[in-house]
Amino acid sequence: MPYLHKLRFFGLLVGLALLAGCARAPVAPQAPVGPSAVTAEELVARLQEREAAVRTLKALFTVEASGSALKSPQWMEAALVYQRPGTIRLQTFARLGFPLFDLMLADSQYQLLFPLQGKTQRGLVSELDRKGGVGAPIALGLQATLGSLGGAILSTDHVSLRDENSQYVLDVMAEPGLNRVARRLWFAQKTMEIVRQDLFDASGNLAATMAYQNYRAVGATSAGSLTWPSRVLAEDGLGQARLVLTFHEIIPNPELTPQDWGPLKAEPVIAPSGFKREN
């Protein structure tokens, strides 16, 4: 896709941290926080339980991309297959169903196939930023897709919780001894659903922001009913790229088969098997 080579890489490793497994309860900072009906540890525990309950996932959604770095708005259909703790397949299709690219992530390795061009790239996930900027939109798209699960918060992370405008705001400081916020998440107090997430770079500048809208029930897990945003807005910190994801189908904990991880055929396909497109 032409626009993949025009965006800057803004923090792929931070994005992929969302896909890691859950860890022990985080260490709370010593500084006092505003009064809240739940503690930071309780909120993190709920996030960890909800994330751990989604062992596998299938998602079908459309992506609209725009921004100052793009010559014109771009549109594609995307299908994602996910298996904890971080195996992912992401396929994208043009309007007529022709495959655009096929990405596999597993064990910190990636394989990127452009079926129509017959080209393949392989390497470490950390090397994606040296592939013409192809890692930036992939990282942003993955964060926007799976970000409503909350992502992993590690035992070394410090967290702080406060009330703000009738929402809970959770700050995650990833480096011990530093007050620099790496992630900031806003939660609806009634449902505990994530409504917004900001990511910051090492200098404290805003790297990306995501807003999660119109949650709906998509199934049940061991942690209870699972809700998912129907629409996600994602934008990089410089405003050069903006993604609008509209979800048509979410299947939590499906039984995955070798076909889900098999090679993509370079032929017209409206959507991968196992999905039913909603209008």
Paired residues of 206 in beta bridges: 200
* Whole-number pLDDT of residue 223: 93
Please tell me whether residue 109 adopts helix, strand or coil conformation. strand
State the residue range of the domain holding 219. Answer: 9-69+133-259
Whether 115 maps to a domain, the answer reads no
* Whole-number pLDDT of residue 129: 56
Give the residue from 74, 58, 55, 76 showing the smallest Cα distance to 66. Answer: 74
The full DSSP string for 18-35 is GGSPP-SPPBPPSS----
Domain count, the chain: 1
Whether 197 maps to a domain, the answer reads yes
Q: 53, 223 in Cβ contact below 8 A? A: yes
Please tell me whether residue 243 adopts helix, strand or coil conformation. strand
What is the C-alpha to C-alpha distance for residues 228 and 218, in angstroms, rounded to an integer? 6
Around Cβ 83, how many Cβ atoms within 10 Å?
A: 17
Whether 91 maps to a domain, the answer reads no
Whether 57 maps to a domain, the answer reads yes
Rg (CA), the chain: 18
Compute φ and ψ for 158, nearest 5 degrees.
Answer: -100, 140
Q: What is the mean pLDDT of each run of 10 residues along the chain (279 residues)?
A: 34 36 40 63 91 95 79 85 92 84 88 85 74 66 88 83 93 78 94 94 90 96 95 86 92 94 61 48
Whether 174 maps to a domain, the answer reads yes
User: How do beta strands 56-66 and 206-221 pair?
Assistant: unpaired
* Whole-number pLDDT of residue 36: 58
Compute φ and ψ for 267, nearest 5 degrees.
Answer: -145, 160
pTM equals 0.79
Residue 186's CATH number: 2.50.20
Whether 156 maps to a domain, the answer reads yes
* Whole-number pLDDT of residue 161: 94
* Whole-number pLDDT of residue 185: 96
What is the C-alpha to C-alpha distance for residues 31 and 87, in angstroms, rounded to an integer? 37
Cis peptide before 176 (omega within 30 of 0): no
Q: 235, 258 in Cβ contact below 8 A? A: no
* Whole-number pLDDT of residue 171: 94
N residues, the chain: 279
Whether 117 maps to a domain, the answer reads no
